[in-house]
Amino acid sequence: MLDPAFRTRPDCDRRFFLRRLLATGLLPAVLSRCSAGQPPEVTSVRATDGDERVQPKWEQLLTLTVGNSNGDLNGNSDRVLQAAVDSVARKGGGTVQLLPGTWVLRNSVVLASRVRLVGSGSDTLLTRPASVSTTLSADSDWYDQEITLTDASGFQVGDGVVLRAVNPHHGAATVIKRTLTARSGNRFLLSDGLRENLWLSGKPTCDSLYPLLTAEFAADVRIENLVLDGNRQQTAHLDGNYGGCIFLQDCSRFTIEEVETRNNHGDGISFQICHDVVVRNCYSHDNADLGVHPGSGSQRPVLIGNRLERNSQGLFWCWGVKFGLAEDNLIEGNRLYGVSIGHNDTDNVMRNNVIRNSGQFGVLFRHEDRGLDFWPNRNVLEGNTIENSGGDEGVAIEVLGKVRDLRFTGNRIRETRDPARRVGIRISPEAGSVQMSDNMITGMHTSVIDQRPPEKRD
């Protein structure tokens, strides 16, 4: 330890300071800090209470197996899966290993921090029964924690539900997700208070709808190697602001890998206000809405090596998604757009993707006239293949509104059908800087339509 009087000694000059540090063994760390502007690299990792950033790589973690039979826990419902997740979480984290089997979920499985949920590939299937819907038969105020259903047949205690109505005060939509936790006839206790008015004047409804996997305020979670099927043909719609095969809210450091999300009457994968989410080598297909939906201010999403096929839109960058990377994805056959990016989605890179057979546009930079500067600025399209976009008047890259500081470089934009009236790149007259270099555009009626005045063109 350094002499407490060290700082006041008359011979405390730079040379003396370095000699003392060298003698105490602190010099290498200090020099590292000075030279790099960062704390020293952690070279000897120990588990320290409260340190969630740096942990040793343990050779063996707590693992609990779940099967339809022959597991540590056995069953075929959401209850056994939830019991396994909760058990591992209470012990500090570890792995829930799903054996081959099928689980039919009447409610979401809620994931917890430091839990890894891993299946056995295509032999592990999580799905859901047909949804049921009814109206409410009595008013519920915002402070209530119960509802009364007109027809309670098909609903059970433990079910996940979504309550929807027209807000009686301003006419906007009210959407509330809850669990039915107790019952007397057609009256059900809810897992939490309403905090919204569900008055009969707003025509309130109750549907047995929920994400298959969900989390809120959780971190350091992995979902791997399983199949999620939303039973789209037998369920009502729940949009990606509230649901999906996977729906995350206010989470950090999630990894979703080798997961198939399919046939959902909503999104495949949606995450809102979630940071450092990695979606890798997943297959999201045949969903009513979005294949992958990074949304609502999510920072630094990384989307690599995924297949996003036959959704309404393949990749939808939502509001305020920043510093993200979408790379080496196959985005094919989506009914509207391959990629859509808009409201304040800035500083993202889309690189080396194949975007093919989109219904209207290959890539859409949305018109976002909601504020002074909510445009999707400073985004990069690099090295992508964008092929066969839209119908006879389809556009491979559509740039709308006042967006600025875009860079399109090294993309291969092609049309293998009749050129018709198809366009490679179309730029709004209001757009700012759009740098274009080394793009190869073939087979189009018109390669580029730049509607900006000459003085605004790069």
Q: For residue 129, which of 246, 263, 234 has the smallest C-alpha distance?
A: 234
Are 299 and 225 part of one and the same domain? yes
pLDDT digits (tens, 9 = 90+) for 72-92: 999 999 999 999 999 999 999
Are 232 and 312 part of one and the same domain? yes
Q: Is the dihedral of CA 57, 62, 65, 71 positive or negative?
A: positive
Are 172 and 234 part of one and the same domain? no
* 3 state SS of 88: helix
Q: Indicate if the pLDDT at residue 30 is higher than 50.
A: no
| DSSP per residue, 347-405 | S-EEES-EEES-SSEEEEE---TTSSS-S--S-EEES-EEES-SSTT-EEEEE-TT---
Q: Is residue 41 part of a domain?
A: no
What is the number of alpha carbons within 13 Å of residue 113 lying toward its C-beta? 10
Q: For residue 212, which of 179, 243, 177 has the smallest C-alpha distance?
A: 243
Indicate the residue type of 349. V
Q: Indicate if the pLDDT at residue 215 is higher than 80.
A: yes
Percentage of the chain lying above the pLDDT 70 cut: 92
Q: In the predicted model, what is the mean pLDDT of residues 426-447?
A: 97
Are 362 and 280 part of one and the same domain? yes
Are 202 and 214 part of one and the same domain? no
Are 238 and 201 part of one and the same domain? no
- pLDDT on residue 13: 53
How many CB atoms lie under 10 A from the CB of residue 271?
Answer: 29
Q: Indicate if the pLDDT at residue 69 is higher than 60.
A: yes
Q: For residue 432, which of 401, 408, 396, 411 has the smallest C-alpha distance?
A: 401
> Distance between CA 319 and CA 299 in Å, rounded?
11
Domain interval for residue 24: 6-36
CATH number for the domain spanning 235: value is 2.160.20.10
* 3 state SS of 245: coil
Q: In the predicted model, what is the mean pLDDT of residues 86-112?
A: 97
Instruction: Compute the radius of gyration of the chain from its Cα atoms.
Output: 27
Are 188 and 239 part of one and the same domain? no
Are 236 and 160 part of one and the same domain? no
- pLDDT on residue 12: 46
Indicate the residue type of 334. N
Q: How many residues does the chain have?
A: 458
pLDDT bracket for residue 365 (50, 70, 90): very high
Are 231 and 281 part of one and the same domain? yes
> Distance between CA 19 and CA 3 in Å, rounded?
13
> Distance between CA 405 and CA 431 in Å, rounded?
9
Indicate the residue type of 254. F
DSSP H or E segment with residue 22 = helix 14-24
Indicate the residue type of 187. R
- pLDDT on residue 36: 61
Q: List strand residue ranges (DSSP E) for 173-277, in order.
A: 173-184, 187-190, 205-207, 213-216, 219-229, 246-249, 252-262, 269-272
Arithmetic mean of pLDDT over the chain: 92
Are 143 and 240 part of one and the same domain? no
Encode 93-102: b = buried (16+ Cβ within 10 Å), e = exposed: bbbbbbbebe
| Residue 132: partners with Cβ closer than 8 Å, 6 or more residues away | 153, 154, 155, 207, 208
pTM of the model: 0.90
Query: Which residue in the block uniquely carries the two structure tokens 């340190």?
Result: 51
pLDDT digits (tens, 9 = 90+) for 115-159: 999 999 999 999 999 999 999 999 999 999 999 999 999 999 999
pLDDT bracket for residue 332 (50, 70, 90): very high
pLDDT digits (tens, 9 = 90+) for 438-452: 999 999 999 999 999
Q: How many domains does the chain have?
A: 3
